[in-house]
Amino acid sequence: MDTNKPDINEIADRVVNAIMEHRLPPGIKLAEEKLAAVFGVSRTKIRQALTQLAKDGLVKLHPNRGAFVASPSIQEALDLFATRRLLEPEIVRNTIARAGKAELKRLHQHLALEADARERNDRRAIIKLSGEFHMLLAEVSGNGFISKLMDELCPLTCLIIALYDAPNTPACPEDEHTRIVEAIEAKDVERATSLMLHHLEHVERELNLDGRAKPDIDWDRMFG
Amino acid sequence: MDTNKPDINEIADRVVNAIMEHRLPPGIKLAEEKLAAVFGVSRTKIRQALTQLAKDGLVKLHPNRGAFVASPSIQEALDLFATRRLLEPEIVRNTIARAGKAELKRLHQHLALEADARERNDRRAIIKLSGEFHMLLAEVSGNGFISKLMDELCPLTCLIIALYDAPNTPACPEDEHTRIVEAIEAKDVERATSLMLHHLEHVERELNLDGRAKPDIDWDRMFG
DNA sequence: GCTCAATATATTGCATACAATCGTGAGAAC
DNA sequence: GTTCTCACGATTGTATGCAATATATTGAGC
């Protein structure tokens, strides 16, 4: 824990991290006083962090009732994946066109982290790093707007996984990220975009988005 | 002017409107106390509104120095149009696939507003409504994430026009929006997407984004 | 025993007060 | 005349206190 007073963005980042690591489940209440105590700051800063998080949909603000971690509906989940299927091939194309050695090195370093987490069977780290891979790719692809949107969509994807993941999913078999980076390095646009699309479809297909599933909060798994 | 205390989102919306109508020029300082006086609320709310606006890049926050209306660089402008060229054909496709009578009616109502503003030669209204057309189209297209992003990109586009527009631009000759809506109504995907792309390229080509232009704030036109 | 109403408690919403920081202008030194 | 320094003024950053609202608890009525 930092002894220094955290910045608003630091607070927001740490909440995002907790959400991505599934330490904050969808729908849970984020009481201002509690957070203020945890971070050692006043409610004012917490409120600012929460309104920021609300702006990109990770947190829902109910007037006079408080802030809650979002729990995206099935429709939102479908829209999200549709958006990612549109954006990420473009990200891959841009990366191939624009990324240099430094960028590729960052990708490899990230892949190492992912491999490490999978080695340790650290499911929380795996989920978070999987999301962050796509955020990193967007960043090195060079378009700030797309990157910012991906910074929003990836944490939401983690929430969606928390809500709709089939319990038996075996922590992603994926060296899929590795293969995508390989195709990028080979500057093979066709293969890289195709791998990316299959990867996204793969992730989406693992989920229960058929409508018969959990409506809001998954009380069963929250305890069981 | 509302006599009731405005909500944070109302404050943010009205600032966005002022930016879209070119009443707030790029780079201008947004002093908290001044805004607080204008809106009749305390600085607390103003700060929240400003941090929200900062989150989608319309406002830049300089620590301990204050908030300023953004003035996007040429690179940001290019990235922005690249993003819109990616998104808006998809928006058109989704609209054709999903929009019903009610949605088409809203589009026509908007076109009427645009025609009216052009009739009156109200340049400010024209610019704002032109942006809002794309936001409305995104909204009726049905994907909330794309819509939210367009709500961010369109005001920024207005800022970019304020910065880089060639002074002699004749207030857009466009019935282009009308023709796009016609193609959408005819469910002609090919023609609608093509019209949209040409429209975007048309808007972008009107601008001085070649690098020889204004670096930051356009002091010449601000007074001249 | 259950439902509904009223009070009590806890939490959010907001404004204000104070502390920290930055920009400015006066004045001295050179 | 120019430049550097210091102090003042103005503005932002943060915490706290109070008012408004929602939730929880208790108790009465059925």
Successive 10-residue mean pLDDT values, chain B, 224 residues = 79 96 95 95 96 96 96 96 98 94 96 93 91 97 97 96 77 80 96 96 88 53 47
Inspect the interface and report whether the beta carbons of A76 and B8 lie closer than 8 Å: no
CB contact under 8 A, A79 and B153: no
DSSP string, B121-172: T-HHHHHHHHHHHHHHHHHHH--HHHHHHHHHHHHHHHHHHHHHB-TT--S-
What residues have CB less than 8 Å from B63, skipping those under 6 apart?
A: none
Q: For position A222, what pLDDT does the model report?
A: 47
Residues 128-187 of chain A within 7 A of strand C, judged by CB, are: none
> Quick check: B76 and A144 CB within 8 A?
yes
Tens digit of pLDDT for each residue in A53-96? 999 999 999 999 999 999 999 999 999 999 999 999 999 999 99
Q: Name every chain B residue with its beta carbon within 8 A of the beta carbon of A48.
A: 47-48, 51
- List the CATH code of the domain at A74-205: 1.20.120.530
Chain A nearest-CA residue for B152: A145
Q: Sign of dihedral through CA atoms B152, B129, B12, B102? A: negative
A127-175 tens-digit pLDDT:
999 999 999 999 999 999 999 999 999 999 999 999 998 776 655 666 8
- For chain C, which bases have at least one atom within 7 A of a protein Cβ? 11-17, 21-23
Is a pLDDT exceeding 90 seen at residue A223?
no
- Chain D positions with an atom below 7 A of a protein C-beta are 11-17, 21-23
pLDDT score recorded for residue A175: 84
Topology adopted by domain A8-69: Arc Repressor Mutant, subunit A (1.10.10)
Distance of B179 CA from D27 C1′ (whole Å): 69
- When scoring B13, B46, B53, B55 by the number of chain A Cβ atoms within 10 A, the one with the most, hence best to mutate, is B55
Look up residue A181 and give its two tokens. Answer: 């980076």
The ranges assigned to domains in chain B are: 8-69, 74-205
Q: If you average pLDDT over every residue of chain A, what do you get? A: 90
Q: How far is A75 from chain B (nearest CA, A)?
A: 9
Q: Rounded to a whole number, what is the distance in Å from the CA of B117 to chain A's nearest CA?
A: 30
Nearest in space to B179 (alpha carbons), one of B160, B163, B195: B195
